[in-house]
Chain A
Amino acid sequence: MKIVTNVLESIVNIQIFPIIGLVIFLLFFIVMIYRVMLFDKNEIDEISRLPLDKDDSNEFFNSNNQS
């Protein structure tokens, strides 16, 4: 534990790091939400279909295949 403390203590002005962290966190968050709101709807629709293939109907689950 002393090892860790010593290493951390050698960093200049480390006390300010957490506050910078909190500010970055809040700013990023606000900007991110703002940008997400502005997304183009058509584009979003297209992206959200990425996992789907042309035909993803559930042909493998057919109720006539019961043992």
Chain B
Amino acid sequence: MELQKFTYDNRLSRLFLQATVFWGLIGMLVGLTIAIELVWPLMTNGVSWLSFGRLRPLHTNAVIFAFVGNGMFTGIYYSTPRLLKTPMYSKMLGNIHFWGWQLIIVAAVFTLPLGITVSKEYAELEWPIDIAIAIIWVIFGINLIMTTVKRRVKHIYVAIWFYIATFVTVAVLHIVNSINIPVSLAKSYPVYAGIQDALVQWWYGHNAVAFFLTTPYLGLMYYFIPKAANRPIYSYKLSIIHFWALIFLYIWAGPHHLLYSALPDWVQALGVVFSIMLIAPSWGGMINGLLTLRGAWDKVREDPVLKMFVVGVTAYGMSTFEGPLLSLKSVNAISHFTDWTIAHVHIGTLGWNGMLTFGMIYWMLPRLYKTKLFSIKLANAHFWLATTGMLFFAVPLYFAAFTQSLMWKEFTEEGFLKYPNFIETVTQILPMYWLRVLGGTLYVTGVILMIYNVWKTMKMGAFVATEQDEAPALDKRKPNTDKGHRFLEGKPVLFTGLALIAILIGGMVEIIPMFMVKSNVPTIASVQPYTPLELEGRDIYVREGCYTCHSQMIRPFRSEVERYGDYTKAGETVYDHPFQFGSKRTGPDLAREGVKSSRNYKPDSWHYNHFLSPQKMVAESIMPPYSWIVEDDLDVSTTAAKIRVMMKMGVPYPEGFDERAVDHLKKQANQIAQGLRDGGIDVEDQKEVIALIAYIQRLGTDIYRDSNESIFSDK
């Protein structure tokens, strides 16, 4: 048959590669900054946009969507045309994808430090950016699927399936989790509330890990490990089973992020069972990757690319074993809200995503520049810095997590909490936080070596913008006589549809009953909407990223009820758009902070002084000061609009309350500020801190209210 000539365009891969390296460094430096802030809370004293709560979302978004995102696109744009023996479908779509994605990242870099956030983890970006993400993502998807349609090979290699599943699932996750009603250009509320918002968010959050950090990188693994080792994948059959099992099972496991929470038991049980089942396909994939190197282990000794792949795939195996382990209720009781979670995700990102990205870059770069790598010694140094950095990061945090969790749970013989002051459990683990800084520094140093190596290699060689190849055309007239799975692999669009159905089934099973069965969220008559002032205070809480360090979810354990008060009920969260459960307790839980009879209760004046200087109230506190909240005036220009959006979503404010909202707000602010002034604090009614105090003093109090009469009725 006649051979057709065509070219591979390397320019897009190069652009994405450069973006990966650049954003990788930025994202990791932001991570290092916030790691230092935890041991040196006054480092950025008084600079709002450098505070931990605002930078932490920037760190997570930058490493996930900018570093790993650009990394996956580098590999996808390199491997897809070569596997399908055709150029990418459209150069223009590719370029729009690249520049659009970078613009989205730049938008995140500006908005997140400014406190423009929805506060749902890894989905913090506000609605205009969410829309841009959806558009760019679809452009990427069209380009990918049309390339598979235009291919010159009959069979679509397994790596491409993983790319397709990534496209389809991330689109669904992103859209479902980002359904918000805008108040203004920079503010919106999710349509879901409380426990249901939490379920949707962690369905998204868990699957962002699955389909943004895992499946595309498995695709890269199935392409680049065989390339680097120059031998086919160990078992292609295993890779098929790996693929379908993984995409089916992952989508169900989200509720394991909400164990012991107010989420109904059956949903929690579902999440646990599927998490345990996930070990099988995950380890199938890991074994498939590692066994590909059988007979080539001598190469692993010399080749830094293979070394990085081996550590990366091993880290994948470790974190996918650890994940199901953490989803067991008995383990989760200890691990949740501690640094264990942080250690776990960093084995995944630093080990799996990081190492695979670095290996891919070292492999691809000399080929893009038709030269040898500038320095193998430097690449080896990078390998050791990354490996030891990862271990210095994670291992101390495992110790920190166990130590702190057991301290939270320890009782004296008389039946009292042994460490009733939360801060005692924090100071105990600070040395571990220092070791994490060391680990992060080692890791970033490795990345800097890589950047030097990349730059020198680029200088040494000449960029190969296009590469020639030839292949016979795919004979379309020949009927597809394959049966079963082989038939499916010849039909990319059908295949995409089936992958979509697979993940939708899991999503449906998890989410629909939760929204349908009324008994899932028993209503509590005394639970009422937030007052306008409290709502504004809540938005400040969201803006400052308080949820990154404080949970609002008391689990039904003796130790937690004793420390924080009655456990959190689903019905208490029905007006929380968005939910604020949090996932980490760097500071104490705040779910019952406003309950006067609780041992945690603090008067307004304490909170005022604490925001001004946490260290003045708790000498060893690692919370940064929030002086700008005390100094800045509250913006009430959108208060009425916020109430209207809430009413639209079914929050039962009285008819026409939006027009009275600002008056109501001012009245309540005056009461709180007057109380503070009576206590000798010089503060004006309109300061932001007043709203935040109002919100904090409301937390957890509803179920203790005697009367079910509306708190708005007399106003």
**A interface residues with partner B (beta carbon < 8 Å):** 1-5, 8-9, 14-15, 17-18, 21-22, 24-25, 28-29, 31-33, 35-39, 43-45, 47-52, 56-58, 60-63, 65-67
Looking at the assembled complex, report how far the CB atom of B195 sits from the nearest CB atom of chain A, in whole angstroms.
10
Instruction: Point out the residues of chain B lying under 8 angstroms from A8, CB to CB.
Output: 512, 515-516
The answer to whether A56 and B230 have CB atoms under 8 Å apart is yes
Instruction: Point out the residues of chain A lying under 8 angstroms from B374, CB to CB.
Output: 67
Offer 14 A-B interface pairs, CB within 8 angstroms, sorted by A.
A1-B192, A1-B193, A1-B515, A3-B650, A9-B516, A22-B509, A31-B484, A45-B232, A51-B227, A58-B230, A60-B371, A61-B305, A61-B372, A67-B375
How far, in angstroms, from A1 to B650 measured CA to CA in the complex? 7
The answer to whether B237 and A39 have CB atoms under 8 Å apart is yes
How far, in angstroms, from A28 to B515 measured CA to CA in the complex? 27
The 7 closest A-B pairs by CB, nearest first: A2-B650, A60-B366, A21-B505, A48-B236, A48-B232, A35-B484, A18-B509
Q: What's the dominant secondary structure at chain A's contact region?
A: helix
Known: A8-B512, A17-B512, A36-B241. A60 touches B372 (CB 8 A): yes
Q: Which residue in chain A gives the minimum CB-CB distance to B377?
A: A66
> Which stretch from B25-33, B153-161, B533-541, B687-695 is at the chain A interface?
B153-161
How far, in angstroms, from A63 to B228 measured CA to CA in the complex? 16
Instruction: Point out the residues of chain A lying under 8 angstroms from B509, CB to CB.
Output: 17-18, 21-22
How far, in angstroms, from A8 to B515 measured CA to CA in the complex? 8
Looking at the assembled complex, report how far the CB atom of A42 sits from the nearest CB atom of chain B, in whole angstroms.
12
The answer to whether B372 and A65 have CB atoms under 8 Å apart is yes
B191 at the interface (CB under 8 A from A): yes
B233 at the interface (CB under 8 A from A): yes
Looking at the assembled complex, report how far the CB atom of A23 sits from the nearest CB atom of chain B, in whole angstroms.
10
The answer to whether A61 and B191 have CB atoms under 8 Å apart is no
How far, in angstroms, from A5 to B241 measured CA to CA in the complex? 36
Instruction: Point out the residues of chain A lying under 8 angstroms from B245, CB to CB.
Output: 29
Known: A4-B191, A56-B227, A67-B377. A36 touches B237 (CB 8 A): yes
How far, in angstroms, from A22 to B155 measured CA to CA in the complex? 30
How far, in angstroms, from A44 to B158 measured CA to CA in the complex? 12
Chain B: number of interface residues, binned into ranges: 35 or more
The answer to whether B376 and A63 have CB atoms under 8 Å apart is yes
Instruction: Point out the residues of chain A lying under 8 angstroms from B505, CB to CB.
Output: 21-22, 24-25
Instruction: Point out the residues of chain A lying under 8 angstroms from B244, CB to CB.
Output: 28-29, 32
Within 248-266 of B, Cβ neighbours of A (below 8 Å) are at: 248
Instruction: State which of A14, A29, A33, A58 has its C-beta within 8 Å of the C-beta of B228.
Output: A58
B649 at the interface (CB under 8 A from A): yes
Q: Which residue in chain A gives the minimum CB-CB distance to B375?
A: A67
B385 at the interface (CB under 8 A from A): no
Instruction: Point out the residues of chain A lying under 8 angstroms from B378, CB to CB.
Output: 67
Within 202-224 of B, Cβ neighbours of A (below 8 Å) are at: 222-223
Instruction: Point out the residues of chain B lying under 8 angstroms from A52, CB to CB.
Output: 226-227, 230-232
Q: Which residue in chain B gives the minimum CB-CB distance to A65?
A: B372
The answer to whether A36 and B377 have CB atoms under 8 Å apart is no
Known: A17-B508, A47-B155, A51-B82. A25 touches B248 (CB 8 A): yes
The answer to whether A4 and B192 have CB atoms under 8 Å apart is yes
Instruction: Point out the residues of chain B lying under 8 angstroms from A48, CB to CB.
Output: 226, 232-233, 236
The answer to whether A3 and B230 have CB atoms under 8 Å apart is no
B472 at the interface (CB under 8 A from A): no
B630 at the interface (CB under 8 A from A): no
The answer to whether A50 and B377 have CB atoms under 8 Å apart is no
Extra contacts besides A5-B516, A32-B244 (11): CB < 8 Å: A4-B196, A18-B509, A22-B509, A25-B506, A39-B486, A51-B82, A51-B159, A51-B223, A52-B232, A58-B299, A61-B303
Instruction: Point out the residues of chain B lying under 8 angstroms from A28, CB to CB.
Output: 244, 248, 502
The answer to whether A51 and B237 have CB atoms under 8 Å apart is no
How far, in angstroms, from A36 to B302 measured CA to CA in the complex? 36
Within 405-442 of B, Cβ neighbours of A (below 8 Å) are at: none
The answer to whether B508 and A50 have CB atoms under 8 Å apart is no
How far, in angstroms, from A31 to B227 measured CA to CA in the complex? 31
Instruction: Point out the residues of chain B lying under 8 angstroms from A25, CB to CB.
Output: 248, 502, 505-506
Instruction: Point out the residues of chain A lying under 8 angstroms from B367, CB to CB.
Output: 60
Looking at the assembled complex, report how far the CB atom of B135 sits from the nearest CB atom of chain A, in whole angstroms.
24
How far, in angstroms, from A65 to B456 measured CA to CA in the complex? 13
B476 at the interface (CB under 8 A from A): no
Q: Which residue in chain A gives the minimum CB-CB distance to B223?
A: A51
The answer to whether A66 and B83 have CB atoms under 8 Å apart is no
Instruction: Point out the residues of chain B lying under 8 angstroms from A44, CB to CB.
Output: 236-237
Q: Which residue in chain A gives the minimum CB-CB distance to B577?
A: A1
Q: Which residue in chain B gives the minimum CB-CB distance to A20?
A: B505
Q: Which residue in chain A gives the minimum CB-CB distance to B228?
A: A58
B240 at the interface (CB under 8 A from A): yes
The answer to whether B485 and A32 have CB atoms under 8 Å apart is yes
Instruction: Point out the residues of chain B lying under 8 angstroms from A4, CB to CB.
Output: 191-192, 196, 515
Instruction: Point out the residues of chain B lying under 8 angstroms from A65, CB to CB.
Output: 372-373, 376
The answer to whether B236 and A57 have CB atoms under 8 Å apart is no
Q: Which residue in chain B gives the minimum CB-CB distance to A50?
A: B157
B37 at the interface (CB under 8 A from A): no
Instruction: Point out the residues of chain A lying under 8 angstroms from B153, CB to CB.
Output: 50
The answer to whether A58 and B191 have CB atoms under 8 Å apart is no
Instruction: State which of A2, A22, A51 has its C-beta within 8 Å of the C-beta of B157.
Output: A51
- Convert B343-381 into 0s and 1s, putting 1 for each residue whose CB lies closer than 8 angstroms to a CB of A: 000000000000000000001001100011111111000
